[in-house]
A and B are shown apart, each in its own frame.
Chain A
């Protein structure tokens, strides 16, 4: 199976999963709380007003029909209802908070991949020397310290002991954000040609991103190193060297590529998990992102908002998984040709 059909198949599967997820979420949203109309209006509203709202919300129809209306609203207008918490349309909340988290996780992902792989390669190249030992020690500490602990430590060190970085928010107070194109301040400011804004948004992102990235980055470095060390002794490497291919070409090309397969898969899982830990880091750095919003609405049983957040995250995960699958199958032809690796 070549790359094209493989992608199509995974895409179709993903859409199927998305549908399943939407049904599940819908059911949970309808089943758990009491009467959504009553909850929206409050306990003191007279019964006939509530009844009118119930009709408007299609609550008198059968469940499948309700699902149909709900889905139609989402797809055509992106209408997820209003949030009980913020009293605004959920759509608006998401549009405000989601790009923030996307920026944060994006920068985190870049850190994880770039530094994780580089450190792993360096560690493998200088295996058993002091360089390797230092990197391994550092990686170990990185792994055992959770992201929120790093957040606390980094904040103390770099915001208060040394006044290097800001400790809250997405921009310095009083600064007007760039004209909204994507909602991500870093990208928008670049698109607007405002380097000063870009820098301001960037320094607000760095510390939380580093805190989130350290554990998975350390894990990736470790995995890359052990993967390279394992493959170093394989016959296909010895064979290339015996034939006279220079060792730098062998390590950069023939050793690196097969060694990246398992670290990349794990990195994908870790980046997905980062969305989970992001809420704590966002809370600590008072970063107004979707993760923080998501936790608050979950604890307040704000049904519409919960549904919105879960759907958005669901789409993100699916896209993320698909991207990782494509990347890994590009690296390892065994997967796309056989549907599995050896």
Chain B
């Protein structure tokens, strides 16, 4: 337990809309160890970003958390007072957003924003941070940005997409933090830059010994960088395993469908999509949320959400198809 940096237990998040409620997160379980690189894979709208925003406590005011806990370094962060929250934000977590253009305030220079981030990383102690400029320059340098001095006085509009994302990375690593969350960091970038940015993230994370959560809808990316992967669908984690194991032996029908959707460079055949759509969060299915689209659905699937079934080697899947395996292992 002490090696667990982050532990999200049974998290439910709802959003109030004008005449009803969107029940987006449906009991999410997610954890990250110190220094671990974890992937979070799922299609658009499945709740990946919501989970992270809940973690950082930057959910919009229309959101509410009816159930669940989030533990960071053993402390339940949903119950923090403002001083503890300031400490957490200053030292604990950082996030790189999907769209670097909207993540940078257009009317302030890079330097102005960076100085404030550095200053307030002292958390609630409020100490004046010395040598802000050196810290800033070093961060920009580590993010492999050219001419850091001039970068400090530049506005986001003057930079290319790749540079903006590297600036966001610089913000994230400027001061020592335990966890870096990268939310689709390369989606909005040119293919040629994607690789560089991704490698930069991996190198920095390894160098500083931080943990990494890589959120992506691209399985290939997850495979390259992460040690362990969660697959998410419609507000639930439906499968989790060590990366290589997941790709070798996917168990959940959804995961299988995802992998089959990726076009192969070698071998024949077209990629198959997964027919159907994510459910309406106003009226989600009472049982497994994938059941309406699942080709293997059978009787228990529409009754209740399947529990996590441990099939060995740290591989967990939330699917009734495998409940025998769990029982078999128990009996064995």
Contact = CB atoms under 8 A, between A and B. Distances in A.
Mutual binders A and B: yes
Interface of A: 233-246, 249, 253-254, 257-258, 261, 331-334, 337-338, 342
A244 B158 contact: no
A245 B58 CA distance: 12
B93 interface: yes
Contacts of A338: 157
A328 B204 CA distance: 39
Nearest to B92: A244
22 contacts: A233-B60, A237-B105, A238-B56, A240-B105, A240-B113, A242-B58, A242-B89, A242-B94, A243-B89, A243-B90, A243-B94, A244-B88, A244-B123, A245-B120, A249-B120, A254-B105, A254-B108, A258-B105, A331-B107, A337-B158, A338-B157, A342-B157
Most buried by B among A234, A242, A334: A242
Nearest to B99: A235
Given A235-B99, A238-B58, A337-B157, A246 B106 contact: no
Given A240-B113, A249-B116, A342-B157, 17 more contacts: A236-B102, A239-B95, A240-B116, A242-B89, A242-B94, A243-B90, A243-B117, A244-B86, A244-B88, A244-B89, A244-B120, A245-B116, A245-B120, A246-B120, A254-B108, A334-B106, A337-B157
A246 B116 CA distance: 10
Chain B interface size, as a band, is 20 to 34
B262 to A, nearest CB: 29
Contact of A235 (B89, B103, B113, B155): B103
Contacts of B103: 235-236, 239
Interface of B: 53, 56, 58, 60, 86, 88-91, 93-95, 97, 99, 102-108, 113, 116-117, 120-121, 123, 155, 157-158, 168, 171
A249 B108 CA distance: 14
Given A245-B117, A333-B157, A338-B157, A238 B107 contact: no
B69 to A, nearest CB: 20
A184 B120 CA distance: 48
Contacts of A235: 97, 99, 102-103
Contact of B157 (A238, A257, A334): A334
A333 B155 contact: yes
A249 B89 CA distance: 15
Most buried by B among A241, A242, A243, A246: A243
Nearest to B158: A337
Contact of A333 (B88, B95, B107, B117): B107
A242 B106 contact: no
Contacts of B93: 242
Contacts of A257: 105, 107-108
Contacts of B157: 333-334, 337-338, 342
A239 to B, nearest CB: 5
B104 A236 contact: yes
Contacts of B123: 244
Contact of A241 (B89, B97, B99, B104): B89
Contact of A242 (B56, B107, B108): B56
B322 to A, nearest CB: 37
Nearest to B109: A333
Given A235-B102, A257-B108, A333-B155, A246 B86 contact: yes
A238 B53 CA distance: 9
A11 B21 CA distance: 55
Contacts of A332: 106-107
A342 B156 CA distance: 12
A42 B157 CA distance: 65
Nearest to A333: B155
A244 B94 CA distance: 9
A200 B108 CA distance: 44
B112 to A, nearest CB: 9
A244 B102 contact: no
A258 B102 CA distance: 12
B162 to A, nearest CB: 18
A334 B120 CA distance: 27
B221 to A, nearest CB: 21
Nearest to B96: A239
B100 to A, nearest CB: 9
B296 to A, nearest CB: 39
Most buried by A among B90, B157, B168: B157
A199 B104 CA distance: 48
Contacts of A234: 102
Contacts of B56: 238, 242
B121 A342 contact: no
Nearest to A231: B105
A243 B94 CA distance: 6
3 tightest Cβ-Cβ pairs between the two chains A and B:
A244-B89, A244-B90, A236-B105
B158 A243 contact: no
A179 to B, nearest CB: 45
Most buried by A among B104, B120, B123: B120
Contacts of B86: 244, 246
Contact of B120 (A236, A243, A261, A333): A243
Contacts of A237: 105
